[in-house]
Amino acid sequence: MSLMTGEIGALLRGGHRFLVAGHRSPDGDAFGSALGLARGLRALGKTVDVYCPDPIPSHLAFLVEGEEILRELPGAGRWDAAVVTDVAAPSLMPAAFPSEEIRGPLIVLDHHASHEDFGDHVIRDIAACSTGEVVWGLLRDLGLTGPSAVPPAAARALYAAVVSDTGGFRFSSTTAATLRLGAELVEAGAEPWPTARGLFEEWPRPRLELLREVLCRIDFAFDGRLAIIEIDRELLGRTGATDDMIDGLVGYGRRVAGVEVAALLWEQDPPSETGRVRLSLRASGDCDVAKIAGALGGGGHRSAAGATLSCSLAAARARVEATVGESLGGTVRGA
């Protein structure tokens, strides 16, 4: 079933120059779906600029493939429309994104269940395993209907988006349709092993040092139903790790038997009482972490969500424990 409206189709078919970006602090789905869309639109004869002002995480660098990624936008730039991928709220838009008079109408492509209403046109499919799947459907609606019509580089980027957001086809969002999508992307040129190696296997040594410390820091509450990991700036500095190397570490808390919710908290700024703390949540049971994140000002999916808290790390932990406790129905006790 096509989710593309006539207005979106007219914009993408009639326009000539587009600006494409994922959300700030890009992950595999945001970055892969943005690259896949850009490369697909170019196959249709369009001129596309990809904008990503944030550092590209080391485990996503293999997707660039010589692509020119704009870290700053040209002052004289003008586009017929802008498309953002995997962006669930205006607060997640990339920094210094241009105004409408420069960028043109804004098209939002997303798959999050919790989504703030913004943008001029929205395609949101909460049944999709990833925004990469949404982009694949959009490109098919635009006429790239066969494997030979899709640039292999676009297929590789979209496959990485799908693999990233499904945890390598392991998460509950993986369905028969997801596996068929993966097969279609492989037929179009995606390569499973290089993708898996890039996303999951090739770790910089500082990330391994960080993991070693994190495994010693996992704490538990609510009789082992909540696993908590805290990462402060001192730990990052001591191990030499960067913020992008934190991605995925919350999953180690979820692997522990009996854990229903895993929470990872890490400081974004030098420690202070008003420092910003990012929260990543994962569920392994029936607990809806999107509701927990929503109560803390964030959002996401039922089994994977996040938020940003404007407080100290200690205060953030207390807020998270209290909010998770309301969902789990218990008092804070260790394992």
Which range marks the domain in which residue 119 is found? 6-201
DSSP 55: P
User: CB under 8 Å, gap of 24 or more: what pairs does 187-190 form?
Assistant: 187/147, 188/147, 188/148, 188/150, 188/152, 188/154, 188/155, 189/147, 189/150, 189/151, 189/152, 189/153, 189/155, 189/156, 190/152, 190/155, 190/156, 190/158, 190/159, 190/160
133 and 11: one domain?
A: yes
How many structural domains is the chain composed of? 2
How large a percentage of the chain has pLDDT more than 70? Answer: 96
Residue 269 forms part of a structural domain? yes
Q: Could you tell me the two tokens for 11? A: 């914009």
Question: Of 201, 226, 258, which residue constitutes the final position of a domain?
Answer: 201
Residue 307 falls inside a structural domain: yes
> Are 106 and 226 in the same domain?
no
Asked if residue 334 is part of any domain, the answer here is no
CATH of the domain at 232: 3.10.310.30
Given 145, 170, 201, which residue is the final one in a domain?
A: 201
Residue 1 belongs to a domain: no
Do 70 and 14 share a structural domain?
yes
pLDDT at position 268 is 86
Specify the higher pLDDT residue, 334 or 109: 109
- 154 and 246 share one domain: no
Give tens-digit pLDDT for 159-213: 999 999 999 999 989 999 999 999 999 999 999 999 999 999 999 999 999 999 9
* The predicted structure's pLDDT at residue 3: 75
Indicate whether 222 and 79 sit together in one domain: no
Same domain as 232, residue 159: no
pLDDT band at 20 (very low <50, low <70, confident <90, very high): very high
The residue out of 201, 222, 255 marking a domain boundary is 201
Residue 324 has pLDDT above 90, yes or no: yes
CA distances from 299 to 27, 82, 124, 279, 292 (A): 16, 24, 15, 11, 8
Do both 141 and 123 map to the same domain?
yes
Residue 298 in domain? yes
Average pLDDT over every residue of 57-77: 91
Do 261 and 135 belong together in one domain? no
Question: Is the Cβ–Cβ distance between 210 and 245 less than 8 Å?
Answer: yes
| 281 within domain boundaries | yes
Is 230 found in the same domain as 147? Answer: no
Residue 333 inside a domain? The answer is: no
The CATH number for 85's domain is 3.90.1640.10
The sign one gets for the Cα dihedral 159, 164, 168, 171 is negative
The pair of structure tokens assigned to 272 is 């202070």
pLDDT score at 269: 74
Q: Do residue 233 and residue 197 come from a single domain?
A: no
Residue 1 in this model has a pLDDT that exceeds 60? no
The mean per-residue pLDDT over the stretch 149-167 comes to: 97
Q: Are residues 47 and 191 in the same domain?
A: yes
150, 85: one domain: yes
Q: Give whole-number Cα distances, 334 to 39, 258, 261, 298, 302, in Å.
A: 50, 13, 14, 26, 25
Model's pTM, two decimal places? 0.89
